[in-house]
Amino acid sequence: HGGYGNYIRIRHANGFATAYGHMTRFASGSKPGARVKQGQIIGYVGSTGRSTGPHLHYEVLVNNKFVNPMTIAVPRGLKLEGRNLAAFQKERRRIDALMELDPVTNRVAQAQVQ
């Protein structure tokens, strides 16, 4: 993966994997075979390898074959019903109301290269 510089691949269930390249560094505690959780930071955007500028190279693989992440059929999550659905909708409305209080009009991810 030399062209991608700092590169990490994560195995998911059902033959899926995601890969990330050109990272400036890996998050502390990252090591081969370690378990990661959804939302956990695994690394930081960079420009390593044969990159011409800071960005994150992202790949999705199914059974070790590269696929277009925009067109794959991913496993579906649980379908909420009854009380669970009502509780989710209530929490979503609460969070939406909190977000309306935030004066930020442009919610765009930003990175800083040092």
Look up the CATH number of the domain holding residue 69: 2.70.70.10
In a domain, 8, yes or no: yes
d(CA 82, CA 97): 23
In a domain, 54, yes or no: yes
Tokens of 12: 């998911």
- Residue 4 sits at the vertex; the CA angle it makes with 66 and 69, to the nearest 5 degrees, is 30
Domain count along the chain = 1
> What's the pLDDT tens digit per position in 83-105?
999 999 999 999 888 888 876 65
In a domain, 111, yes or no: no
- Using alpha carbons only, how large is the chain's radius of gyration in Å? 18
In a domain, 64, yes or no: yes
Residues of the domain holding 30? 2-76
In a domain, 88, yes or no: no
Residues 11/32, Cβ–Cβ less than 8 Å: no
In a domain, 28, yes or no: yes
Residues 113/46, Cβ–Cβ less than 8 Å: yes
Percent of residues, the chain, with pLDDT higher than 90: 58
Question: For residue 108, is pLDDT > 60?
Answer: no
Amino acid, single-letter form, for residue 41: I
